[in-house]
Amino acid sequence: MIGWAFRLLAIWGGVGLLLYALIGHRLLTQADAPAAVPAASATAAAPTSASSPARGVASNALVFRANREGHVLLDAVVNGGKVRFLVDTGATMVVLTMHDAAAAGISHGSLDFSMRTQTANGVGRAAPVRLRELRIGQFSAADVPAAVVENLRISLLGQSFLKRLDSYEMRQGALTLYWN
């Protein structure tokens, strides 16, 4: 009788542990997939008043609020064309979708997909490019290294732009960009 009880306990304990692991893995997988930002949540973060001394934000700073998923999305101007970016501090460089590259005046025919990238969606092809200008609010950077990636859902604002700033910080759900 005791053997039977221990066997049942082991079986139900194993089933419970398996369910716990499956649910935990699913939640982690969803949290680690920034490229899978749903279109409904891809609204641009509106900068708060960057020059308002009452809020304690200097005139050489911009503040963007994260969305419900914790992602910071913002609108920028690339080579004169409007582009929506997901801020990705872990991305080595600025990465454009094919659509956003076209909006920035980069023709598909001029692209040489000579680079390989490793993303959350797997291995992809990328074409290195240089952006004449990338502007967010009052801050502008010239000659920014970037890449155009096939099968990307949203452009990424990476380190090739972010390192041009004096600093940036994420605090209490807001990203602040600082420059001189």
Question: What whole-number distance in Å separates Cα of residue 106 and Cα of residue 109?
Answer: 9
Dump pLDDT digits (tens) for 137-171: 999 999 999 999 988 899 999 999 999 999 999 99
Question: What whole-number distance in Å separates Cα of residue 62 and Cα of residue 175?
Answer: 8
What pLDDT does residue 57 have? 59
Check residues 94 and 30 and name the one with the higher pLDDT: 94
Per domain, the residue ranges of the chain are 2-32, 39-178
Check residues 42 and 4 and name the one with the higher pLDDT: 4
Maximum alpha-carbon separation in the chain: 78
What pLDDT does residue 73 have? 97
Give the C-alpha distances (Å, rounded to integers) separating 156 from 25, 28, 85.
Answer: 26, 21, 5
How would you list the strands of the sheet with 174-178, edge to edge? 47-48, 61-65, 174-178, 167-171
What pLDDT does residue 13 have? 66
Of all residues in the chain, what percent carry a pLDDT higher than 70? Answer: 72
* Amino acid letter for position 7: R
CATH code of 39-178, in short, is: 2.40.70.10
What pLDDT does residue 30 have? 42
What is the mean predicted confidence (pLDDT) over 18-36?
Answer: 46
Question: What whole-number distance in Å separates Cα of residue 27 and Cα of residue 39?
Answer: 20
